Structure 1
């Protein structure tokens, strides 16, 4: 994540320009994944590359210091780390808090805890207990979710120098030290599998113990593949082996960017570790001066991105969250909006690099007090006065945001409707399970035909339908209406549900005898659906059942069109899959939706139910 600081500041060594290329690949993967998650579903794997680089460069520098002096100057090391990390971190926290305080106070909830845990480098542990899933991109998204990575790095900087010094002092054999470090990497990968929980992946995803295998692999590589001992003069055959190895590993890294789904069990049962091994070998090839991979990954673009990769990573999520909260057409113009977000991120990162990172990196803090006093001199100049005024304004708003008591959000109509609908659906589901007469959720005897625009034949036939509906909050919103028309509909809907959770749920429903011959799926509100997830859903439903898939209406998110194209493509390839095109049917009918333009209003739920029922009845 960090540019050439380690090479330049922690011991003189050859500046490996190809590492800027590797950083660029990492940050590009992460950015594309966040902007267009369906395009690069494994882009989140850029993070292990950052951690690899951290482990390799820091350990290499520390080992060199130990060999030269016999010890590690811990205070000096910690101060250098603080100088590198804190300026951008504090700038992002202040700027984001200022924006939240002025324009998006709904995010004030837990803000103090978030800021403090980030400054103490324990935010990843806070997220395990309080945060949302890294892969939940729909509602209540935090602009700080991505900062878990920096906390893991901070903990590594704090603990690793001491642990490494103890290893060197207590364990005399280098090979044994190397074995211990590699063993720690294996242990971390095992812990990731142990703590993996498909219903809540936060512990496995955010944990320092479960994610440190990348850092330890980088540290191990620094011990067995030290930069200062790699010779540039090697045989042509050795060069050829290095180049081929580098090309293969680069190809595997790029392939896994596209295919390794972040919610898939395999990712946590060795998949991410395998990816990190390929990235580690690629990093080793880049570091070797006898190969050509370093040259191939060296160019002005990669240099520019690599040197600013820390800022790009830190500022990306706040920009995305704040931008997407204001733009209502993300789903209709995903590429254009992604480009707009990318430009903003790069501009802010460049400004930060020029005016915060580089000046403070080389600033002599012994002059801090005199420089502060100089600002108040009459002859200080308008630039310093302006800078001081801007800094003071942001600081004041930041303090206000930190002390402002967040007001608990009032339940909106959608939340109230979902809660009411969920209670009615539970009562009806319980009755279906017990074989009892199902209650009318509305408690009214209003004509079904009149309310939902159905013919008498359609309404009568709907009363005999037996369907199972699985979905997210959109289905939860309209479930009571659906069961009013189709009394024998067994509905399992949950707010925030993502596609990867559906296969296991569908299998569970089948085992309990609740999976009917007609299955309705409404997923895609909370994130893109990977091809793997779709195939798993099809497998769980089975080819003998008829599957009706409702298209997504999520104009505020950039995955809307991708989800709908996937649904259409799936229906074309499978005879038992049918499309219920809620997106096209509802497009342009703003009165059918609540204020979020995603969940149907009371009126919209009527049309939503009518569409589902009439589409199913077409085939009956």
Structure 2
């Protein structure tokens, strides 16, 4: 591996930027209601990576007269690959032993991460970033590492080409920025509402953040920024930094990952804001490098890769065993502590040692560890455990279910089947089957049955409604259903407006919302502004595996007190303690639970 460049400088404040980014991402995933825009930490990571990598490549070209592709690839491999491979194999081994419902597509998951194309694997298999239930994957977040891996593979070649073809660095920056704009424009043009996972995962629609950082490196080289500046320039730099930091923090607090504005250039402008902060932190003449440099930020920043890497396995495996909804803060603290401990172990015993390890000595190290007279017992134990993990992970890959993903996941299979039936029912008049009619006669009076058959009703909701809608339409054949996986409460006003414009918004409305996140009074007011004096029946949530369960149910209860035409259907209290009513995710009603859910809704609406 090549020697360190003489002209390069380590920008300590970048550890602070990584800290800001990883805190946003972790809080977004663990306590999304506390920081709904925390997902924007990923564009910060992208901008920092684009800037640093490009800056180093330019320095190498200027100092040595060439860019060593081999050395670049080796540096990236040593820094990133061991921890990624370890996380994937350990998680796969855990799944094989303790959570086999997640073995679906495990071979493809392992291989696509090995070759840094997992984001395209997710797109091909229609995996949603926003569907939080039904076998949520511990690998979901690795899409971003695949995008960075693809960038690392191609970027040094493109930098060499750009430097050869275009002499002015400002012009190169303009060309790169144009590429970033095209990427963001593609995201905007392809967004048509609904689940934006394709845009969220796509290299083509997410590359703009990395390219913005790369463009910055050509016009703001870290080694050519003046250390000494006059007080006017310093105040100007600090002013820009303050503006950018304030914008980032406000975006973390008030933005949502499913807001349409994010995909209509919002994320692009946020990336520009991030680039401004990167530029100010990189400048040695301002105060922001010092502001972002302290022992805590340095510790977190240096371990930010591991923290990001291990967050999802910890959360998914922990939350599958512990019902975090009743004590969200306590469980969030436990999860964060586990992530930090694992990240520290990874950094100390895996990432740092292997970053400088001579892989040509691998076989001799293994032979030495297993010699009878060796004193390297810890190394022998470590290698033995590693071998066992690899073996179990490979067994899991061989055990991958032969059936397709939808068949292997009963929740997704049910929802897919129900959505097709619901679409058909919406276009025709559903008729209750003889079995449903018999059940109705047991649960409802004849007067209620007649009322249900003739009641005009609109149902709007998330995946819980999607899982139960055909059963509801059997009882209420005039019901029009609009259910979408991953839908959150803030999206409901626009849905209601569209239904109203199409003539599908009845005088009685059933809301099955809150499964995917909390809501605030402003969002509630927007819903009621559309609904007006319509009678609203709002089913509260049973999501014991998510931190927002109690806050959502409290919000729905308070909404019922504030608005006399909101009637709360207490599904949580009715179903709590009846685990046999739910699929394994403890959220979506199974066949038994669907009957209970439908009966409860019918009794409340028809009483």
Q: Which residue matches 2:341? A: 347
Q: Which residue matches 1:561? A: 550
Q: Is the 8 A contact 1:424 1:441 kept in 2?
A: no
Q: 2:35 aligns with which of 23, 34, 40?
A: 40
Q: Is the 8 A contact 2:143 2:201 kept in 1?
A: yes
SS in 2 for 1:97: helix
Q: 1:513 aligns with which of 500, 503, 506?
A: 503
Structure 2 residue 133 is the aligned partner of structure 1 residue 138: yes
Distance in 2 of aligned mates of 1:154 and 1:446 = 59
Distance in 2 of aligned mates of 1:502 and 1:227 = 47
SS in 2 for 1:319: helix
Tell me the CA shift for residue 44 of structure 1: 0.6
SS in 2 for 1:335: helix
- RMSD of Structure 2 on Structure 1 (CA): 3.0
Structure 2 residue 537 is the aligned partner of structure 1 residue 548: yes
Range with bigger deviation, 285-294 or 476-485 = 476-485
Q: 2:480 aligns with which of 487, 490, 495?
A: 490
Distance 1:153 1:599, change over 3 A: closer
TM-score calculated relative to the size of structure 2:
0.91
Structure 2 residue 277 is the aligned partner of structure 1 residue 282: yes
**Structure 2: 5+ residue stretches without partners:** none
**Structure 1: 5+ residue stretches without partners:** 433-437
Distance in 2 of aligned mates of 1:95 and 1:388 = 14
Distance in 1 of aligned mates of 2:139 and 2:5 = 29
How many equivalent pairs are there? Answer: 604
Distance in 2 of aligned mates of 1:561 and 1:264 = 24
Q: Is the 8 A contact 2:569 2:604 kept in 1?
A: yes
- Superposed CA deviations along residues 388-441 of structure 1, whole A, max 9, x for unmatched, are 221221121122222334253877987887688768766654443xxxxx5223
Structure 2 residue 221 is the aligned partner of structure 1 residue 226: yes
SS in 2 for 1:519: strand
Distance in 2 of aligned mates of 1:73 and 1:442 = 74
Q: Which residue matches 2:199? A: 204
Tell me the CA shift for residue 257 of structure 1: 0.5
Q: 1:599 aligns with which of 577, 588, 600?
A: 588
Tell me the CA shift for residue 473 of structure 1: 3.8
- Superposed CA deviations along residues 299-358 of structure 1, whole A, max 9, x for unmatched, are 21111110000011111111111111222x222222222122111111111110011001
Q: Is the 8 A contact 1:138 1:527 kept in 2?
A: no
Range with bigger deviation, 370-379 or 259-268 = 370-379
Q: Which residue matches 1:164? A: 159
Q: Which residue matches 1:257? A: 252
Q: 1:358 aligns with which of 352, 355, 368?
A: 352
Tell me the CA shift for residue 137 of structure 1: 1.3
Distance in 2 of aligned mates of 1:148 and 1:468 = 37
Q: Is the 8 A contact 2:134 2:409 kept in 1?
A: no
Distance in 1 of aligned mates of 2:467 and 2:202 = 34
Distance 1:73 1:477, change over 3 A: closer
Q: Which residue matches 2:382? A: 387
Distance in 2 of aligned mates of 1:384 and 1:179 = 51
Q: 1:439 aligns with which of 431, 437, 442?
A: 431
Structure 2 residue 42 is the aligned partner of structure 1 residue 53: no
Tell me the CA shift for residue 585 of structure 1: 3.9
Q: Is the 8 A contact 2:170 2:218 kept in 1?
A: no
Tell me the CA shift for residue 167 of structure 1: 1.1
Q: Which residue matches 1:241? A: 236
Q: Is the 8 A contact 1:196 1:203 kept in 2?
A: no
Distance in 2 of aligned mates of 1:565 and 1:490 = 27
Distance 1:364 1:530, change over 3 A: farther
SS in 2 for 1:468: strand
- Superposed CA deviations along residues 442-491 of structure 1, whole A, max 9, x for unmatched, are 44654746424x6x665554454321112234334444554454443333
SS in 2 for 1:331: helix
Q: Is the 8 A contact 1:471 1:523 kept in 2?
A: yes
Structure 2 residue 371 is the aligned partner of structure 1 residue 372: no
Distance in 1 of aligned mates of 2:284 and 2:436 = 79
Q: Which residue matches 2:461? A: 471
Distance 1:481 1:101, change over 3 A: closer
Tell me the CA shift for residue 600 of structure 1: 3.8
Alignment of 1:302-451 (within 5 A): 302-327=297-322, 329-381=323-375, 382-408=377-403, 429-432=426-429, 439-443=431-435, 445-446=437-438, 448=440, 450-451=442-443
Q: Is the 8 A contact 1:32 1:40 kept in 2?
A: yes
Distance 1:380 1:206, change over 3 A: same
